[in-house]
Structure 1
């Protein structure tokens, strides 16, 4: 017998030997029953764990086409339907902002371009509330990236009524390197800076 075959047979032989009763203790009673048996659960004393509740994601996939019209830093339209991100105060598309250096810059256009680049041609997973031709989107993600948090972090929108977004906004304002957060007066008065 070859060494290979012997090494393969050893675990099998050990398994058979372990299953055989020791001499003098032989028993013909089966380990399990072969007949249908009724089990009365009320007489069992086993610990029962509650059933695992699977959390179901109720968000809906929205596929944003390549051709969209961006209205401001939180809303865009596809055909005659307008999609609006919740919990963000937008930067209007035609708004001019005061730069920290003293000049003016087209912050509204930059904010609109950022939103367009963020969602155009992507699949968004969102909580959706529809009212005729207006669709409110909340808790939107693209992959693992939160859409509203990305807009607020870039300084192209102000967080409203959402603790997570307010935290993201505070962090972005401390850094002060992007969008409207570059100008310290925008942190005090978002609409007039």
Structure 2
């Protein structure tokens, strides 16, 4: 089964496949390279989101890994990151455990139910943790798509072409 098609620059850098100049030129012409001249934050982002967007774009441009087609995906990543932070801060303000009263099933002398208390997990924290997990997964997937995680960067690294072997200056003198 054939592997995923790789850019010609990567194939050349690996040095494992011999291609003629004509094959290289043909591959370069057929590769899709999206322009990156209009990578600007969408208007629906807030000021802080636009700042985060521009910061990320600056980093992605340095490694030539963003194009005009990526604007919406990056905007979604920035929004998910901000929402994740908001939910995390809200959870931090909530107590994990709360005291809840429950009916013991017994009655006092006047016929009223006897209540007791015990600690239970705060249901608000539970719901917020589910939302936090969803935002975390969105952030992780978006970051992986843009090479912003360690494992995704490892897949993006283009190997250096092997250096030519050093010549032995004494070889010709004693041969």
TM-score class, shorter-chain normalisation, is under 0.3
TM-score (norm 2): 0.26
TM-score (norm 1): 0.24
Higher relative contact order structure (alpha carbons within 8 Å, sequence separation ≥ 6):
2
Higher strand fraction (1 or 2): 1
